[in-house]
Chains A and B, each alone.
Chain A
Amino acid sequence: MAQAVKKPFRWHIAVFLAPAVLIYTAIMIIPLFSTLQLAMFSDVNNSQVFVGLKNFRTLFDDPRWSEQFWNALKNNTWFFIIHMLVQNPIGILLAALLSSPRLRLRVFYRTAIFIPTILSFVIAGFAWKLILSPLWGVAPNLLDLVGLKSLFQPWLGKEAYALTTLALISVWQFVGIPMMLIYAALLSIPDELLEAAECDGITGMSQFWKVKLPLILPAIGIISILTFVGNFNAFDLIYATQGALAGPDFSTDILGTFMFRTFFGFQLQLGDPNLGAAIATAMFGIILIGVSIYLFGIQRRLRRYQF
């Protein structure tokens, strides 16, 4: 009797997976592949013709397109760098302050800092446009109060400052997210561990650097990758404040606005969905590479501690 008993097929697994798989396929995977497909076609005499990689050649070889693409990529990278250098350190700092046991009104601060995150981009963009407006904004008056009026510039209208200004607006809006994630990570550090550290004489700042920070590194990693994906998909804030031409002189043009302009067209420029899809595919590629580097290069080396 060597006949093995055939295991019954475990239907419940398929049944439980089905809803998520179906929804994810319908709203993520199919659109993703149809974007890739769209990028391989071109409009010839009003019918879609397969052209292989021609759209990508146009995008990277034709100086008129590639110049815009590299400009957008460069701006996007700067946008990301500002977030990494400003948003995440501030997020960590705020979380560390919030988790300090001596702090009062903790819930109030937490909520106040997190609120901008739930605002629409349009509202945040519009509010900041008004604040920074050289005509009716409060920024020039506030600077005047402290005698620094001479420092005021029409920031959103100057090539040198516009992108950085927008990046900082975005930081203001989203600093709540790293703060919350790291705050949660800090709270999950068991008290015994901190008490043990205190017994060893590690307190205050050095406790943060030597005990807490290593423990929240995985959370910081996740935040970095979320920031990366979010920044390279960004579009709304720039569109809401600077419009589709991402002025002044394309200095705030990022991949999202470049894609929008190409895909849907702008004023007399007719939309080219195929080239737009090629840009979207390039964006997907950039994000994929970035995420892969993180997953395979960094996340695996992060040490995790079990409590």
Chain B
Amino acid sequence: MMKTTKLALLAATMLGATGAAMAQDAELTIESWRNDDLTIWQEKLIPAFEAKHPGIKVTFAPSAPTEYNAVLNSKLDAGTAGDLITCRPFDASLSLYEKGHLSAIQDLENMANFSDVAKAAWSTDDGSATFCVPMASVIHGFIYNKEAFEELGIEPPITNEEFFAVLDKIKEDGTYIPMAMGAKDQWEAATMGYTNIGPNYWKGEEGRLALIEGEQKLTDEQWVEPFRQLAAWAPYLGDGYEAQSYPDSQNLFTLGRAAIFPAGSWEIAIFNEQADFEMGAFAPPLQSAGDECYISDHTDIGIGMNAKTENAEAARTFLNWVGSAEFASLYANSLPGFFSLSNETVEMEDPLAKEFVSWRENCNSTIRPAHQILSRGTPNLWNEMWNVSANVLRGAQTPEDGAKQLQDGLAGWYEPQQ
């Protein structure tokens, strides 16, 4: 009796296993650098997908952001990477596609939901193939402590002059550090400094494309002036800002010790959780009132398919779902600050996220200037921008010198600039 039962169980297990494999019980693994989003994927996004597509199991397996590119490349080369790959914008993903690690997916039905601008970050230069579904962009601006502003009786600034007047006032009062930003991690100065305020000077896409065409140089006035502005921030930052890291800056702001945080919209979720005061946001200050405004609305995250996946059909199903309106709304609302790139209108609830996204209506969107094409050579323009922005902020390099270093580096390998 015992024996028969065991045999039956064994047979059932084996049959069950093969049976399940025959029905499309596919398991998908997602590679990502967004380890902050782990719970959102596990509790909201993946269940929503699995409910609609029984038979496909999805696992979200993120690694640390700074190590993601290195880890992913090694895994892909070794053939151990997951089925779905979260895509960095532009060249990092383009090179994966060219090496045959990512599949072209422009024929997915829901790719029609995205504009060419949204797809540009994950398409070949000629636009013939797209290899990742755009997920979200991030917008730069300044987040401020509303209570501090009310206490000091100041209004969020619109022009540059007002911006510095506000900073002066906060500094004079002395209760708050005017602005929370450090030079240690370098990328703060470049991302939340230079490319945050810069688009108003180089006129967004106009300047960015002119740089790619070789019609403008990084030593031109419109590219140097943002560095001068950055250098002028130094007196308003905290003591020892040279050694202040990014988490330090975040904590300074959320603990209520600093009044303004030069930000990317990705901070919204974490700030909502940590700060117990009301926050507002203002767009990068204009040179003079009435100027047209430009914002950095950077295509930041997409998702594609490992070309060597064994579950290509299931992976395509998943990607198509990522392109749907349902995903767009789920994602934008669970991660306020990551704005959907879909053409579908997405209703958002978070007031701070709404504030950020409202700038899209009046201002012109652009992406960070170094990301498309210009960071293909050595020295890498974006890495150099980190370094130079931090140097300028620390006062270790003049804005003019910094711009010259960037231009010389770029001209060293980029023909249109020679």
Contacts and interface: CB of A to CB of B under 8 A. Distances in A.
A268 B370 contact: yes
Contacts of B78: none
Interface stretch (A83-91, A110-118, A126-134): A126-134
B82 interface: no
B382 A267 contact: yes
Contact of A157 (B73, B184, B386): B184
Given A157-B394, A269-B380, A133 B95 contact: no
A303 interface: no
Nearest to A260: B70
Interface centre among B74, B90, B240, B390 (most CB of A within 10 A): B240
Interface stretch (B3-11, B145-153, B244-252, B276-284): B244-252
Contact of B73 (A64, A154, A242, A264): A264
Interface centre among A129, A135, A245, A248 (most CB of B within 10 A): A135
Contacts of B241: 134, 154, 157
A159 interface: yes
Contacts of A158: 242-243
B396 A248 contact: yes
Nearest to A58: B378
A135 B379 contact: no
B240 A134 contact: yes
Contacts of B243: 132-134, 154-158
Contact of A249 (B182, B187, B390): B390
19 contacts: A65-B378, A133-B240, A134-B239, A135-B244, A154-B241, A156-B243, A157-B243, A157-B244, A245-B186, A247-B184, A248-B396, A249-B387, A249-B397, A264-B73, A267-B187, A268-B382, A269-B382, A269-B383, A270-B91
Interface of B: 66, 69-70, 73-74, 90-92, 95, 98-100, 182-187, 238-245, 248, 251-252, 370-371, 375, 378-383, 386-387, 390-391, 394, 396-397, 409, 412
Given A46-B98, A133-B243, A247-B183, 10 more contacts: A157-B243, A157-B244, A157-B394, A242-B184, A248-B396, A266-B69, A266-B383, A269-B383, A271-B69, A271-B73
Interface of A: 46, 64-65, 129, 132-136, 140, 152-159, 242-245, 247-250, 264-271
